[in-house]
Amino acid sequence: MPFRAVQDRFLWRLRAPLGPGEIRRTERWLASARVFLAVSSLVTIWMDPTEVHYSIWAFGLLAFYIAQGVNIIIFLRRRQQSTASFRVLVHTADVIWPVLISAFAAGGNNPFSLFFVFVLAAAAYRWGLWETVGTAVAEVILLWAESFALSTGFLGWANHILSRYSLPPLLLDAGNFAPKPLFMRSVYLLVLGWLLGYLAEQQKQLRAEKAVIARTLTKARVESGLAGTLQEIAGELLKMYEAKHLLIASQEVNHYRIYVSEVSQMQEEPLIRWLEPTANDRDIYLEDSPAAVCYAERDGGDWPPKLLGLDQGGVRMEDLAPRFLERFAQKHRFDRAMVVSFAFGQDWRGRVFLLDPALTGETEEELHFLQELVRQVGPAVYNVLLIRRLRLRAGAVERARFARELHDGAIQSLIAVEMQVDVLRRQSTTKPDLVGGELGRIQGLLREEVLKLRELMQQMKTLDVDAKRLLGLIHDTVERFQRETGISARFLSDVTDLDMPQPVCREVARIVQEALVNVRKHSQARQVLVRLGARNGGWRVEIEDDGRGFSFSGRYSQEQLDAINKGPLVIKERVRLIEGELTIESNPGRGSRLEITVPRQQGAIHG
């Protein structure tokens, strides 16, 4: 059982291993703390040398320890990585050091007692529970070994050797190593090591859980669709628990049908497979149960299984009946199973079944974690579902608008042209002098419809533009406008290097396109000028023409335009999206000018 506990905690760490950068930062902090602690001890005994009985050996050991700490700091700053062997070597020196230096000071006034705490905290910070307990045991063994050496005359022998070479004596305080105080110190170290290690282990386990949840959340992507997202998340769960199969059963609340999908670890690459629906799916997969999450284990395939369940609040349930798993066990064979329920808002509910998982911790802890994982990942999956639905609906609305534009615009015009051509064909023999003028007028109508179709296609096209490509896109748009309409158009820019966010770039390009469409349709202008510049810490876009102008005269802000219900609706809406300000100056019969001011800082952009 102890070995299993060690293995469990080790596997928890494997779920979220420390990166090289985090390891390096940890070692740097420990190295700085080591030097600061040693310097503080040196200052303490310098203020009161009686603490170490004026022993030159204690001062020498402290100076050596400080030098070692400084060298470690320099080494860590020059090296990009800290190897495991280096960390073990440094930790071994830290374990031996307090045992040696504490022999020079009395127990009650020992200025080096914090070194024992430091080495335990370092083990907890680097690793976890069992390494910290092992460090405490190693310190206790070394202390008792030192006590044994002092009790067998080692101090006298060492001082005799030193006196032979005219060196100062050690001046060790053997009172620290009497059995009673040493026993209390040993208990203190073991208890402290266990507590620090336990706290570190809990912190690392929480960190591992958060890392696993975050990694699983990244699998929920709108681009993958609902099936792709479920497949990615199911594959992550299978790999995490080393389970053989995973089943997901879900039901929309307002519908009777049950959707059941299966992902198997037996395949090289886990792929989601939708099972054929049956009339009994409700009883097999979604039978009512008071447990929100449970673990079932069948001893040799016997029934009923051993059950451990938690309710919605994570409280352990006693005497949980396995009735809700009977039909499921008849259809799917398993020795062990983890079952967790989920709910997506008020619309969807279901269960996830993990068959034959290999748990790496306490069963109840694993159930708590699985419940929390599903609780946090569930909304992300639900968002994918909602966004996909919204995109489908938006696509349907856009297709309907596109069809309406074609029906009310191009199709009606083409029908009218077809009727005029038919009339012209009938008159070609009796009134040949009218043919030339009518053909010119029909040609003009066709050219107008071609332009409308191109503009419609341009609006349907997805814009992928950023700050580097915006100027070129506007320049090309203006040139194409001039080429297709015959209206003189120019684009001027006061800036050459934009730092405009991509959503703002997209909306600015759409505003310019919409403004040019309006110029062609309504203004009867001969010249158009588009200008982009930087103003007052933001950007300003101007579209000016010499056409008919708007139905009002003067200069109006966006708020005033809304009050009188004037101005281009599409442009006003796009300006709001980028939190800009629209101003229109109109002089009927002589032209108009649109000014769009865009701030650099947008609170929220809905592109």
Q: Give residue 595's pLDDT.
A: 93
Give the mean pLDDT of 49-61. Answer: 67
Give the mean pLDDT of 431-447. Answer: 67
Task: Please tell me which residue, 352 or 520, carries the higher pLDDT value.
Answer: 352
CA 75 and chain centroid, separation = 34
CATH architecture, domain defined by 223-388: 2-Layer Sandwich (3.30)
Is the pLDDT at 168 greater than 80, yes or no? no
Give the mean pLDDT of 185-204. Answer: 88
- Dump the DSSP string for 457-508: HHHHSPP---HHHHHHHHHHHHHHHHHHH--EEEEEES-SS----HHHHHHH
Model confidence at 266, pLDDT cuts 50, 70, 90, reads: low
- The Cα–Cα gap between 5 and 129 comes to 11
DSSP β-ladder status, 488-493 and 316-317: unpaired
Give the mean pLDDT of 424-445. Answer: 67
Which H or E run includes 267?
none
Which segments of 242-362 does DSSP mark as H helices, in order? Answer: 281-285, 326-331
Q: Is 525 helix (H, G, I), strand (E, B) or coil?
A: coil
Q: Give residue 409's pLDDT.
A: 62
Q: Are the C-beta atoms of residues 481 and 542 closer than 8 Å to each other?
A: no
The overall average pLDDT reported for the chain is 80
Model confidence at 395, pLDDT cuts 50, 70, 90, reads: low
Q: Is 141 helix (H, G, I), strand (E, B) or coil?
A: helix
Exposed / middle / buried, residue 253 (Cβ in 10 Å: 0-12, 13-18, 19+):
exposed
Q: Are the C-beta atoms of residues 251 and 350 closer than 8 Å to each other?
A: yes
> Do 223-388 and 464-607 agree at the fold level?
no
Q: Among residues of the chain, what percentage have pLDDT more than 70?
A: 78
Q: Give residue 438's pLDDT.
A: 67
Q: What share of the chain is helix, strand, coil (3-state, %, to 5)?
A: 60, 15, 25
Model confidence at 51, pLDDT cuts 50, 70, 90, reads: low
Task: Please tell me which residue, 436 or 130, carries the higher pLDDT value.
Answer: 130
Strand segments (E) across 318-440: 336-344, 348-355
Give the mean pLDDT of 480-505. Answer: 86
Total Cβ atoms within 10 A of residue 505: 24
Domain ranges of the chain: 2-215, 223-388, 464-607
Q: Give residue 551's pLDDT.
A: 85
Angle in degrees, CA 293, 297, 302, rounded to 5: 135
- Dump the DSSP string for 332-359: S--SEEEEEEEEETTTEEEEEEEES---
* From 301-305, 520-524, 572-576, 579-583, the region with the lowest mean pLDDT: 301-305
Is the pLDDT at 429 greater than 70, yes or no? no
Q: Give residue 105's pLDDT.
A: 67
CA distances to 119, 120, 121, 134, 273 from 95, rounded to whole Å, are 6, 9, 11, 11, 56
Angle in degrees, CA 590, 594, 599, rounded to 5: 160
Give the mean pLDDT of 445-456. Answer: 65
Model confidence at 607, pLDDT cuts 50, 70, 90, reads: very low
Give the mean pLDDT of 513-528. Answer: 87
Model confidence at 268, pLDDT cuts 50, 70, 90, reads: low
Q: In terms of pTM, does the model score above 0.75?
A: no
Is the pLDDT at 52 greater than 60, yes or no? no
Total Cβ atoms within 10 A of residue 550: 22
The fold adopted by the segment(s) 464-607 is Heat Shock Protein 90 (3.30.565)
Model confidence at 543, pLDDT cuts 50, 70, 90, reads: very high
Q: Are the C-beta atoms of residues 16 and 208 closer than 8 Å to each other?
A: yes
Q: Give residue 606's pLDDT.
A: 40
Q: Give residue 295's pLDDT.
A: 92
Strand order in 306-310's β-sheet?
Answer: 272-274, 258-264, 245-252, 348-355, 336-344, 293-297, 306-310, 316-317
Q: Give residue 137's pLDDT.
A: 93
